[in-house]
Amino acid sequence: MKVYISADIEGITNVTAWEETELGNIEHPMAAKQMTKEVISACEAAIECGATEIYVKDAHDSARNIVSDQLPKGVTLIRGWTCTPESMMAGIDESFDAAIFIGYHSGAGFNGNPLSHTMNRGNNYVKINGRKIAEFDMNAYVAAYYGVPVIFVSGDEQLCEHAKEIVPNIQSCGVKKGWGEATFNINPDDACKLIKERIKTGFSKLNECHIVSPEKFEMEINFKECVHALRSSYYPGAKQIDDCTVSFTGKNIQEMMAARMFML
Ligand SMILES: [Zn+2]
């Protein structure tokens, strides 16, 4: 069995401020350490459920956060960016049997996490087919494009609830709750234990976690600064909706994600 894990940092237990998410900042190592521990819990669950190959994508900012020498032997760690449409899902293909998301966070326009955003901090919201999304949605659809079921997500509580809208049978672990600029966090070791347990449940329900992709992917981006909407409107096929809003419709997620590379 081959398993894909995509890990972000803003949905890791205790991570609350941008400073903690920036490589080189004095506050970063503690966040990176817990991110690593939560990823290790996911790897251990996968191994105990029969995974023979595990790929982990470090999918936050520099993509050089996870402490590599702590990961179980045999795990492949993807660091840095491929600069291809899959982005936070780089390396995924039809050969994988399950996808897992660790440390994911609420999207732009949601208040479930003080660090809510979608791909960057330059937009007020991103929608797919009229529904406000988080990075989870894009990445789950990328997994679906390759026929890979999405069995588990951890992150802030609001994101975990949001994920169920497109994968009703997904297992989840809300490791914190956002309130204003604050976070209410569960104990880091408790988080790891729960993540491991629920991923194991996820593997037992793998066949219930396939996502049905929509017929088309209409991406709408509302930028904080109108000049970015103007610039994005020149991407072939893009439409300007109002001063700060553009849309692009792709026939599948791959086409939409390719446009996203240039527009968002
Ligand atoms: Zn991130």
Number of domains the chain is built from: 2
Answer yes or no: is 225 within a domain. Answer: yes
Distance 253 CA to ligand 1 centre (A): 20
Does the pTM of the predicted model rise above 0.85? yes
Distance 106 CA to ligand 1 centre (A): 11
Q: What's the pLDDT tens digit per position in 22-80?
A: 999 999 999 999 999 999 999 999 999 999 999 999 999 999 999 999 999 999 999 99
Where a domain ends, among 188, 208, 228?
Answer: 208
Q: Are residues 97 and 29 in the same domain?
A: yes
The pLDDT of residue 90 is 98
Q: Are residues 200 and 250 in the same domain?
A: no
Q: Which residues surround ligand 1, an ion (CB under 5 A)?
A: 8, 10, 60
Q: Are residues 72 and 189 in the same domain?
A: yes
Q: Are residues 30 and 148 in the same domain?
A: yes
d(CA 228, CA 264): 8
Distance 118 CA to ligand 1 centre (A): 9
Q: What's the pLDDT tens digit per position in 145-184?
A: 999 999 999 999 999 999 999 999 999 999 999 999 999 9
The pLDDT of residue 111 is 96
Q: Are residues 97 and 225 in the same domain?
A: no
The H-or-E segment that residue 55 falls in is strand 53-58
Answer yes or no: is 73 within a domain. Answer: yes
Q: Are residues 39 and 165 in the same domain?
A: yes
The pLDDT of residue 251 is 97
Answer yes or no: is 129 within a domain. Answer: no
The pLDDT of residue 171 is 98
Q: pLDDT above 90 covers what percent of the chain? A: 100
The residue range of the domain holding 258 is 217-263
The H-or-E segment that residue 179 falls in is strand 171-179
Angle at 52 between CA 13 and CA 33, to 5 degrees: 25
Distance 9 CA to ligand 1 centre (A): 5
Answer yes or no: is 128 within a domain. Answer: no
Answer yes or no: is 199 within a domain. Answer: yes
Answer yes or no: is 250 within a domain. Answer: yes
Q: Are residues 173 and 242 in the same domain?
A: no
Q: Are residues 234 and 114 in the same domain?
A: no
The pLDDT of residue 123 is 98
Q: What's the pLDDT tens digit per position in 219-228?
A: 999 999 999 9
What CATH code is carried by the domain that includes residue 183? 3.40.50.10780
The pLDDT of residue 61 is 97
Q: Are residues 138 and 249 in the same domain?
A: no
Q: What's the pLDDT tens digit per position in 19-36?
A: 999 999 999 999 999 999
Distance 61 CA to ligand 1 centre (A): 6
Backbone CA torsion sign across 220, 141, 204, 113: negative
Q: Are residues 174 and 227 in the same domain?
A: no
Q: Are residues 108 and 236 in the same domain?
A: no
The pLDDT of residue 88 is 98
**188-204 vs 28-48: helix crossing angle, rounded to 10:** 30
Where a domain ends, among 208, 228, 252?
Answer: 208
Q: Are residues 55 and 151 in the same domain?
A: yes
The pLDDT of residue 140 is 98
As a whole number, mean pLDDT of residues 115-144 equals 98
